[in-house]
């Protein structure tokens, strides 16, 4: 064999040998990989999930890739308003840290009007376009750091009721909600100063902030709003009652269990035709009972118990013909309990008169019968000969010390008080039918709601 041909042969043989060894090594490696880790082979060959690179399909078949989750589009919803509401609700849902009743599990899908707690209606400016008009989270016990970015982003919202949850923060600016008229965030953990962002709400008729941690002063302008209900009880408000309190148009006013100070403003008489129930209970009010309280001609509940009010009961209280609950217990009142007030049990609607824990020394003739019937409570006073009175040294100490307030006594009664009949009516036709126990709205506001 020629030298050139021999060299050529050797080169070819070497190439074949290298090719053979390379192929054997490749197959052996892949064979072991398949046995030890079949998933890796799948990834390397690009089969199954289309994410691999390597041999077989050039990096994965597009048809084999999983379909991505479909992002909701406005066309998926009944209308654009509900699509926008969906976005707001889902964003708020992501901030909720506790949901003991799994309410938020229903906040899913393209029909926000079916979500638990959400209710739809058609706004006046968009006929045929139902959207979120009211929210009722009462008793849901949801936890969230704030409701800002939620209710203020639902432009057609009219009502938000969230009694008994665990929302914190404060009330957001709701001035962009042109239909909004009821706000109830009672029994939460909201804090800070009085939420002044509610003041510009032109349509607001119901404001319930009770059982929260609001503190500081209440702006006098709140008493100029055209509200029906104002519940501020069980917070930490602590200023003199505003002088314009009587400008309020509310029917139900509850300021109980705060730190309000100073006297009850004489302007309260201005609310005589609208104020049905008012609770000043358990504050630090002082001064005298203003004569003008007797001008609350429509009031059925007046409660100023457990304050530091002093002086006597004005005779004008005999004009409270519609009052059913009159509580002045736990104050520094003294003197004579007017007969004209006790007569209200016969000539008016009086069913409960609580004067316990004061320093009264005598009672009117008509009051005796009320004590026997349980309508009048005069325990822990200074009435000689009566049971369950203060110790003599307590009474002596009180009357021996000078009073901080001089309370004028007006003999004039600004109404014509009916005179009860000398003999109680006996015939059924003359008897006043027993009224069912009324649902005193203001007193109900003193109770937290613990259930759903």
The separation between CA 161 and the C-alpha centre of its own chain, rounded to angstroms, equals: 7
Structural domains in the chain plus CATH codes: 30-68 (no CATH), 71-198 (3.80.10.10), 222-416 (3.80.10.10)
The pLDDT, as a whole number, for residue 448 is: 83
- Residue 319 near residue 343, CB atoms below 8 Å: no
Q: Which residue has the higher pLDDT, 37 or 361?
A: 361
Tokens coding 420 = 């009860």
pLDDT band at 409 (very low <50, low <70, confident <90, very high): confident
Please give the average per-residue pLDDT across 97-118, as a whole number: 97
Return the HEC string of 398-426: HHHCCCCCCCCCCCCCCCCCCCCCCCCCC
Question: 271 exposed, middle or buried (CB, 10 Å; 0-12, 13-18, 19+)?
Answer: buried
Q: Which residue has the higher pLDDT, 417 or 408?
A: 408
Q: Which residue has the higher pLDDT, 213 or 417?
A: 213
The pLDDT, as a whole number, for residue 122 is: 96
Q: How far apart are CA 450 and CA 387, in angstroms?
A: 39
Question: Is 50 exceeded by the pLDDT of residue 28?
Answer: no
Q: Which residue has the higher pLDDT, 6 or 189?
A: 189
The pLDDT, as a whole number, for residue 52 is: 35
pLDDT band at 55 (very low <50, low <70, confident <90, very high): very low
Please give the average per-residue pLDDT across 104-127, as a whole number: 96
Kindly list the strands in the beta sheet with 359-363, ordered across the sheet, starting from the edge strand earlier in the chain. 310-311, 332-337, 359-363
Q: How far apart are CA 111 and CA 86, in angstroms?
A: 8
Q: How far apart are CA 103 and CA 82, in angstroms?
A: 19
- Give me the percent of the chain exceeding a pLDDT of 90: 73
pLDDT band at 437 (very low <50, low <70, confident <90, very high): low
Q: What's the mean pLDDT when you consider all of the chain?
A: 85
pLDDT band at 406 (very low <50, low <70, confident <90, very high): confident
The pLDDT, as a whole number, for residue 56 is: 35
Please give the average per-residue pLDDT across 359-366, as a whole number: 97
**Phi first, then psi: what are they for 347, rounded to 5°?**
-95, -15
pLDDT in tens, 254-305: 999 999 999 999 999 999 999 999 999 999 999 999 999 999 999 999 999 9
| Residues contacting 76, CB < 8 A, separation 6+ | 83, 110
- Give me the percent of the chain exceeding a pLDDT of 70: 79
Strand partners, 337: 363
The pLDDT, as a whole number, for residue 451 is: 53
Q: Cβ–Cβ contacts within 10 Å for residue 409, how many?
A: 13
Q: Which residue has the higher pLDDT, 375 or 439?
A: 375
The pLDDT, as a whole number, for residue 438 is: 58
pLDDT band at 116 (very low <50, low <70, confident <90, very high): very high
Least confident of 85-89, 188-192, 438-442: 438-442
Question: 285 exposed, middle or buried (CB, 10 Å; 0-12, 13-18, 19+)?
Answer: buried
Question: Is 60 exceeded by the pLDDT of residue 64?
Answer: no
| Residues contacting 49, CB < 8 A, separation 6+ | 42, 43, 60, 64, 65, 66
pTM confidence score: 0.80
Q: Which residue has the higher pLDDT, 197 or 37?
A: 197
The pLDDT, as a whole number, for residue 405 is: 76
- Residue 85 near residue 110, CB atoms below 8 Å: no
Please give the average per-residue pLDDT across 379-397, as a whole number: 96
Question: Is 50 exceeded by the pLDDT of residue 189?
Answer: yes
Question: Is 70 exceeded by the pLDDT of residue 17?
Answer: no
- Residue 79 near residue 132, CB atoms below 8 Å: no
Question: Is 70 exceeded by the pLDDT of residue 90?
Answer: yes
Q: Cβ–Cβ contacts within 10 Å for residue 256, how many?
A: 25
Give the angle subtended at the CA of 419 by the CAs of 418 and 424, to the nearest 5°: 120
| Residues contacting 120, CB < 8 A, separation 6+ | 82, 112, 113, 130, 131, 132, 133
- Residue 431 near residue 360, CB atoms below 8 Å: no
**C-alpha closest to that of 234 among 262, 207, 218, 256:** 256
Least confident of 35-39, 128-132, 171-175: 35-39
The pLDDT, as a whole number, for residue 50 is: 37
Tokens coding 63 = 């048809």
Question: Is 70 exceeded by the pLDDT of residue 18?
Answer: no
Q: Which residue has the higher pLDDT, 427 or 244?
A: 244
Residue 207: C-alpha distances to residues 133, 198, 226, 345 (Å): 17, 9, 11, 33
Please give the average per-residue pLDDT across 368-393, as a whole number: 96
Return the HEC string of 73-113: CHHHCCCHHHHHHHHHHHHHHCCCCECCCCHHHHCCCCCHH
The pLDDT, as a whole number, for residue 242 is: 96
Q: How far apart are CA 187 and CA 175, in angstroms?
A: 23
Question: Is 90 exceeded by the pLDDT of residue 440?
Answer: no
């Amino acid at each position: 064999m020629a030298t050139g041909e021999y060299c050529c042969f050797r080169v070819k043989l070497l190439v074949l040998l290298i090719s053979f060894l390379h192929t054997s090594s490749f197959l052996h490696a892949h064979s072991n990989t398949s046995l030890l880790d079949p998933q890796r082979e799948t990834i390397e060959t690009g089969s199954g999930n289309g994410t691999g690179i390597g041999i077989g399909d050039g990096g994965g078949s597009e048809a084999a890739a999983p379909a991505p989750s479909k992002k909701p589009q406005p066309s998926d919803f009944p209308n654009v308003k509900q699509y926008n509401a969906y976005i707001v609700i889902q964003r708020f849902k992501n901030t909720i840290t506790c949901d003991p009743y799994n309410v938020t599990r229903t906040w899913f899908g393209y029909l926000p009007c079916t979500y638990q707690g959400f209710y739809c209606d058609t706004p006046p400016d968009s006929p045929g376009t139902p959207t979120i008009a009211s929210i009722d989270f009462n008793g849901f016990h949801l936890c969230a750091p704030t409701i800002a970015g939620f209710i203020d982003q639902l432009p057609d919202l009219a009502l938000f009721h969230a009694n008994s949850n665990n929302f914190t923060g404060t009330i957001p600016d709701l001035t962009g909600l042109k239909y909004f008229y009821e706000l109830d965030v009672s029994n939460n953990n909201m804090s800070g100063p009085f939420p002044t962002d509610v003041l510009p709400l032109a349509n607001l008729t119901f404001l319930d902030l009770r059982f929260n941690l609001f503190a500081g002063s209440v702006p006098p302008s709140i008493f100029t709003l055209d509200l029906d209900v104002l519940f501020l009880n069980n917070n930490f408000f602590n200023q003199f009652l505003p002088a314009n309190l009587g400008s309020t148009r509310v029917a139900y006013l509850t300021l109980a269990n705060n730190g309000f100070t100073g006297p009850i403003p004489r302007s309260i008489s201005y609310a005589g035709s609208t104020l049905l129930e008012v609770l000043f209970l358990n504050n630090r009010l002082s001064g005298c009972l203003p004569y003008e309280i007797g001008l609350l001609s429509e009031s059925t509940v007046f409660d100023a118990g457990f304050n530091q009010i002093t002086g006597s009961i004005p005779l004008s209280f005999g004009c409270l013909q519609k009052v059913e609950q009159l509580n002045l217990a736990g104050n520094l009142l003294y003197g004579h309990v007017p007969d004209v007030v006790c007569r209200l049990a016969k000539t008016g609607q009086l069913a409960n008169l609580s004067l316990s824990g004061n320093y009264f020394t005598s009672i009117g003739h008509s009051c005796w019968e009320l004590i026997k019937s349980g309508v009048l409570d005069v325990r822990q006073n200074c009435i000689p000969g009566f049971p369950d009175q203060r110790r003599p040294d307590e009474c002596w100490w009180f009357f021996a010390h000078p009073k901080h307030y001089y309370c004028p006594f007006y003999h004039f009664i600004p109404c014509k008080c009916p005179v009860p009949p000398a003999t109680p009516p006996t015939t059924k036709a003359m008897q006043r039918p027993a009224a069912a126990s009324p649902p005193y709205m203001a007193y109900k506001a003193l109770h937290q709601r613990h259930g759903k």
